[in-house]
């Protein structure tokens, strides 16, 4: 994401993000219709990066008591304290109500990072997936790797297959895994660059759990597209995304063992890429059923604002000031 410099800020080295009007106009039309009044407050957060928040996911393979102390001093507190159906003690994430960003750590070969900065809502698909030790897991669209790292904070899978089709993103994924996962464990992780739409045919009924964190129209970053032509092209191609997402889901279902479960997630508010895709899958695949995740949503309602009126097998996190997490759509299915 390129950021444009405001001349008066050059001396301070500050970067000022510019809103892409073409994208904002498009969102305005679509989301006023889909979200109604909720869109106004969501738009205020998405268009004002100074109120964005970052969560700090601790790396259990590189633990530091000092880090936890300094987070607490800076006003951070542990997230996910509610009675969650699934919350391994080894998954530690810190958040605070005020915006700002904890300093990022650079990648150094051979040295593990102590934490990963992320949108706290990104952990909801991982909590919904409920990975247990020894299970065979596929992360179908794994880059940049935050959710893969989070899965490994929760459990030790039997086999862990992280896939990323895009070449550049695949390199990013490998670097993330190297930065967070120690040597003996890293050998159990398979990183591939397959077309996710074909994995189901290549590896049928091989996995207990599959995460499909699908390519989607990324509302947050699209709003700050610096290239108007590229932004316009993205908006034109946006209609095709739901077809790709549907194909990825169908492939994931083939890759699942009977009795296995799948979580689908995106970071867009778009109904066409969220509940419409899930409804299409439920209507066209007789061997999958929806799984109720409303208990999980209830347990984290302190931290997140959800769109009301969604079904029990899905949730949509709406960013709001003080809880600027999301957008994040999560749905859970089970293969019969």
Record the tokens describing residue 223, joined without a space: 């709003």
Set 20, 162, 216, 267: catalytic member: 267
CA distance 88 to 30: 38
Residues making up the annotated binding site are 141-147, 164, 195, 213
Record the tokens describing residue 198, joined without a space: 């074909």
Active site residue 267: yes
Number of other CB atoms surrounding residue 108 within 10 Å: 9
Task: Give me the phi and psi of 15, to 5 degrees please.
Answer: -105, 130
CA distance 226 to 20: 7
Residues making up the annotated binding site for S-adenosyl-L-methionine are 141-147, 164, 195, 213
3-class DSSP string for 62-104: HCCHHHHHHHHHCCCEECCCCCCCCCCCCCCEEECCCCECCCC
Catalytic residues: 267
């Amino acid at each position: 994401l390129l950021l444009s410099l405001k001349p008066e800020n050059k001396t301070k080295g500050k970067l000022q993000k510019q809103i892409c009007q073409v994208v904002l106009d498009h969102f305005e039309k679509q989301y006023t219709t889909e979200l109604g009044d909720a869109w106004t407050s969501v738009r205020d957060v998405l268009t004002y990066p100074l109120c964005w928040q970052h969560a700090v996911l601790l790396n259990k393979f590189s633990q530091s008591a000092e880090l936890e102390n300094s987070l607490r001093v800076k006003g951070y507190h542990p997230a996910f304290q509610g009675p969650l159906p699934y919350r391994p003690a080894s998954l530690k994430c810190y958040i605070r109500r005020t915006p700002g960003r904890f300093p990022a750590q650079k990648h150094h070969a051979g040295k593990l990072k102590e934490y990963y900065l992320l949108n706290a809502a990104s952990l909801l698909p991982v909590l919904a997936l409920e990975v247990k030790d020894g299970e065979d897991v596929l992360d179908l669209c794994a880059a940049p790797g935050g959710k893969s790292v989070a899965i490994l904070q929760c459990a030790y899978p039997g086999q862990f297959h992280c896939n990323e089709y895009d070449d550049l993103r695949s390199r990013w994924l490998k670097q993330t895994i190297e930065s967070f996962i120690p040597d003996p464990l890293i050998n159990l992780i398979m990183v591939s660059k397959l077309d996710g739409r074909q994995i189901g045919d290549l590896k049928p009924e091989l996995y207990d759990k599959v995460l499909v964190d699908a390519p989607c129209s990324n509302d947050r970053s699209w709003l700050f597209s610096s290239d108007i032509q590229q932004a316009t092209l993205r908006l034109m191609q946006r209609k095709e995304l739901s077809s790709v997402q549907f194909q990825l889901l169908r492939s994931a279902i083939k890759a699942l063992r009977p009795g296995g479960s799948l979580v689908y997630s995106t970071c867009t508010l778009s109904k066409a890429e969220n509940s419409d895709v899930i409804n299409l899958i439920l209507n066209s695949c007789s061997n999958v059923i929806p799984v109720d995740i409303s208990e999980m949503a209830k347990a984290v309602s302190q931290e997140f604002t959800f769109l009301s009126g969604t079904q029990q097998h899905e949730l949509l996190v709406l960013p709001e000031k003080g809880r600027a997490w999301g957008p994040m759509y999560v749905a859970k299915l089970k293969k019969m």
